[in-house]
Chains A and B, each alone.
Chain A
Amino acid sequence: MTKTLQRRAGLLLLAAGAALALRPAPALAQQELKIGIIAPVTGIFAQVGADMTNGFKMYLEQTNSTFAGTKVVPIIEDSQGKPDLAVTKARKLILEDHVQMIVGGVLATEGYALAPVSTELKTVYISSVTAADDLTQRQIGKYPYFIRESWSSSQPMHPFGQWACDQGYKKIATIAADYAFGYESVGGFQKTFEACGGKIVQKIWPPIGTKDFGPYIPTIKSDADAVFSLMVGPMALQFPKQLRNSGYTKPILGGSVSYDEAALPFMGDEVIGDVSAEQYSAALQTPKNEAFVKSYRAKYGKVPSYFSESNYTTAMMIEDVMKETGGKWPGAEAFIAKMAALHVDAVRGPLSFDENRNVVQNIYIKKVEKTTLFGYPKPELWDVVIKTYPNVSQFWTFGKDAFLKQPVYSRDYPPCKYCE
C-alpha cells in the first residue's frame, strides 16, 4: 500500500518535472534579433553584472530596442560568476532560446569556457568584458566565432610602460593581484617599460582578495622611483590608503582597473594625483561621452565604468552591422566578418578590430583629480585624461608575429631580471 503511494508520488513528481521540461522552446519569430547576455546577476560580482546589463539596456532603450527595423530581444542569464554555469546557460540560450549571439562573460575562466561553446555551436560570441590576453592571441584560431569588443589585459599597459619611461622613471616595483589578470597587466607594463630603458626591480603578488597590505608594504624596495599597482575591487580601495599611511610619498601608477570608475567613487582624497591607463574614462571630455555619462548617471545613479560603456558600445556595434544588412540576420560567419570590419565612433573614441578580432582603440593615461565636470555641482574624484595614445592594438608596436612568438604573460614572464 505504502509502496504504491510512494511510487505514485514519485511518478507524479516526475510528470510535473517532465511537463515543465517539455515546454516547447520559443519559436523564432519573424524579424527578431535575439541576443543572449551572460553576466553575474547574483553572487559577489553582481555589481559588475548590473553595470554590464545596464549599459546594454540603456542603448536598447535609446534605440527603442529596434535595430534597422528588427526587434531586439535581449535574454539575460545569470552566470553567478561560475564558468561551468556560464557554459550551461550559454547552451540553453543557443539551443533552446535560439539566440543569434552571446554577449558577455566577465572572468577569464568564463571567457575560456564560453569561447569553445561558440565554436562548437557555431554561434557568435562577443566578449564585452573578458580580457584574458590569449583568447585573441595564440588561441584565436580555435574560436572563429569569437570577437572581442572590450580589451585585452595587457593592451593598455603597453603604452603605459612607455609613458612611464617618458616621465623619467627608472626603477619601478610592481604589486599586483596574484592571478592571470594581474600577471598580464604587469607583463604588458614590464615589457615596454624595460624596452625603453626602465627596470622592474621587484614584483609582489598579494593574493586576490587581500585587504591588509601590511605584510607587503614594508618590503617595497626603497630604491624604486614609483610603485605600479594592479588592484581589483575592494583591494583597490584599501591599497592606496594603506600605502600612503605608511609614509610612502612616491607616485603610484595604477594599472587599468586600480582607479577606474567601478572603485573611484568610493575612494577618498588620498588617491588624488595617482595615475592609471585604460581604454575608457568617464571624464573623457567629448560630447559623446558627456551625453553618455549624464544619461547613465541620471538613470542608474552612478558614474559609468568601462563595464557599462563596453556593453553599450557592443550594442551599438551590433546595430551598425544590422544596418549594413538591412535588418536581416546575415548568419554567424558573415556577422563576424562585418563586425570585424567596422570602424566605429564610440563613446570611448574611435574603434576598429585587428586581424585577430580584438578591438583597436585609444588608450587614455588618466590622473585622479578632484574637480567638477559636466555641470555636476560638487567636486568629485574623476580620472582626468592627461594623454591619449591612439590606435593601440593588443600587439602595441611589436607587430603580431613578433609578439606571438613570446609566451603569454605570466607570473614568471617577462622574467624579473633586475629583481634580487
Chain B
Amino acid sequence: MSMTRPQGKVLAVAAVLVGIALIVPHTNSFVILLTTRALAFSILVMSVDLLLGFTGLASMGQAAYLGIGAYLTAILATRYHIGLGDDFWLVVALAMLGSAALAAFFGLLAMRASGVYFLMITLALGQCVWGLAYRWNSLTGGDNGINLSQRPRFFGIDFSHGVTFFYLVFALFAISLLLMGTLVRSPFGRSLVGIRERELRMKILGYNTWLHKYIAFVIAGAFGGLSGVLWVHTAGIVSTDDVVLTTSVDALLMVVLGGAGTLFGGVLGAGVVFFVREYLSTLVHWWQYVLGAIYVLVILYLPGGLMSIPQRLRQGRAAPRAAAAGALATASTASSPARGAG
C-alpha cells in the first residue's frame, strides 16, 4: 500500500503541488478556473478517501457536507453580509463546525450499519439533505439556488481576480492535505487503518472502534464543509445540484480512480475527471464515453488506482494480490461479516 517509501511519495506529491502552483497561474483563465474548481472539490474527495481508504467506510452521501458549507456561506453572505471581508475566516470556521455537527448527527444513525448497508443509509441521508435544500425555498432558494455576487476581500486583497483566488484555494487545499496527511500518519490514523483491516482484532486489543470511526466520519464532514465554502465562491452559485446524489458518487469514483488510501490519489482522480468533463468537453462531444471508459479500465486493471502506476511499473506486470488488496479489497471485508470476522 501507500506506506512504503513515504519520503519518496511525499516529495513527489510536493513536487507536483509546487509545479501546479508555479505553472497554472501562467496558463489561461480557463485552465486556472478549472484547476481552482478541481482543487476546491478535491478537499471533499480527500475527506471521502479518509473514510474509504483509511477507515474502510464507503459513504455515498458526502456531498451533503459540501452542501452545508456552500449554503451556509451563501446565506450568510447574501442575507447578513457576513463572510465577504475579514470575517471570511469566521465563515470557514462556522461552515466546518456546521458540517461537522451534521456529520455528528448523521454518524449516529449511519454507523449502526456497515458495508453496503452503510452505503445505503448514507445515500438516504444525503438524499434527505437534498430534499431539504429543495423544499426549504425561503432559506435555500429552492431549485433556483443562491447567487453570490462577489468574492471576499480581506488582508487588503481582492479575491475576485482569478489568479489571486486560485492561490487562496490552493493554499487551503494544501493545508487540508497536510492536516489530513498528518492525521492518517498519526497513531489515530494508524488505528483507523487497523480497524479497516481487522476490526475484530482491534476491538480485542481494547480499541473503541466505533468511536474511532465516528470521529473519522465527523472530521470528514468538517472538511466537506470547507470544500463547500470554496466551491460556492468558485462558481458564484449554490443550488440543489451541488447536493445531488451524483456529486457524492463522483467523489467516490474520483477516490477509486486515483487510488484509495493515498489521499493524493483522490486529487489525481479529481484532476482527471474535471479535465475530461470540463476541458475535453470543449473539444469533443463524446467525452462521456472517454470518462466511462477510464472508470471501467482503471477499476479493472489498476486496483490501486492511478497512484499505483509507479509501483506497478517498478514491480513489472506481476502485481501480487497484496497490491490489489491495497485499500480496496480490504475496505470490502467490512461489508461481509458473514464470511467470518478477523
- A and B found bound together: yes
When the two chains form their complex, are residues B143 and A92 in contact, meaning their CB atoms are under 8 A apart?
A: no
Residue pair A411, B33 in contact (C-beta under 8 Å) = no
A79 to B8: give the CA distance in the assembly, Å.
40
Interface residues on B, range: 35 or more
Interchain CB contact (< 8 A) of A109 among B137, B239, B287: B239
Docked-complex contact B27 and A85, CB < 8 angstroms: no
Task: Name which of A17-25, A157-165, A210-218, A397-405 contacts chain B.
Answer: A17-25
Partner of B29, one of A77, A84, A95, A180: A95
Shortest CB distance A133–B (Å)? 10
Contact B285 A41, beta carbon cutoff 8 Å: yes
Q: Which A residues lie within 8 Å of B9 (CB)?
A: 6
Query: In the complex, what distance in Å separates the CA atom of A6 from the CA atom of B306?
Result: 13
- B 250-289 to A, binary, CB cutoff 8 A, 1 in contact else 0: 0000000000000000000000000001100110010110
Q: Mark B296-327, 1 if CB is under 8 A from A, else 0.
A: 00000000000000100110000000000000
Question: Which residues of A101-119 are within 8 A (CB) of B?
Answer: 107-109, 112-113, 116-117
Surface stretch bound by B, among A8-16, A270-278, A327-335, A387-395? A8-16
Complex CA gap A207/B287 in Å reads: 31
Taking the nearest CB of chain B, how far is it from the CB of A130, in angstroms?
Answer: 11
B15 contact set on A, CB distance < 8 A: 7, 10-11
Please indicate the chain B residues that have their CB under 8 angstroms from the CB of A410 in the complex.
137
Contacts of B143 in A (CB 8 A): 107-109, 179-180, 208
Q: Are B285 and A78 in contact (CB under 8 A)?
A: yes
Q: How large is the interface on A (under 10, 10 to 19, 20 to 34, 35 or more residues)?
A: 35 or more
B7 contacts across to A, CB distance below 8 A: 3
Which residues in B have their C-beta under 8 angstroms from that of A41? 281, 285
Interface centre among B137, B143, B310 (most CB of A within 10 A): B143
Minimum distance in angstroms from A149 CB to a CB of chain B? 21
Chain B CB within 8 A of A294 CB: no
**Interchain nearest-CB distance for A40 vs B (Å):** 11
A96 within 8 A of B: yes
A6 touches B241 (CB 8 A): no
A242 lies within 8 A of chain B by Cβ? no
Contacts of B20 on A, CB cut-off 8 Å?
Answer: 14
Q: Residues of A contacting B281 with CB < 8 Å?
A: 41-42, 77-78, 80
Specify the chain A residue showing the minimal Cβ separation from B241: A82
Interface residues of B in 29-54 (CB under 8 A from A): 29-31, 33-34, 37
Which residue on chain A has the smallest CB distance to residue B271?
A17
Q: Interface readout for A48-89 with B: 1 if CB under 8 Å, 0 if not?
A: 000000000000000000000000000001101011110111
- Residues of A at under 8 Å CB distance from B? 2-3, 5-7, 9-11, 14, 17-18, 21-22, 25, 41-42, 77-78, 80, 82-85, 87-89, 91-92, 95-96, 107-109, 112-113, 116-117, 120, 132, 142, 179-180, 207-208, 410-411
* CB-defined A-B contacts under 8 Å, sample of 10: A3-B11, A11-B19, A77-B281, A78-B285, A83-B145, A83-B237, A83-B239, A84-B235, A179-B142, A180-B144
List 4 tightest A-B contacts by C-beta distance, closest first. Answer: A84-B235, A21-B27, A92-B30, A21-B31
Known pairs A78-B285, A92-B29, A207-B134; list 11 more (Cβ under 8 Å).
A2-B5, A10-B12, A14-B23, A78-B281, A78-B282, A83-B145, A83-B241, A92-B30, A113-B147, A179-B142, A180-B144
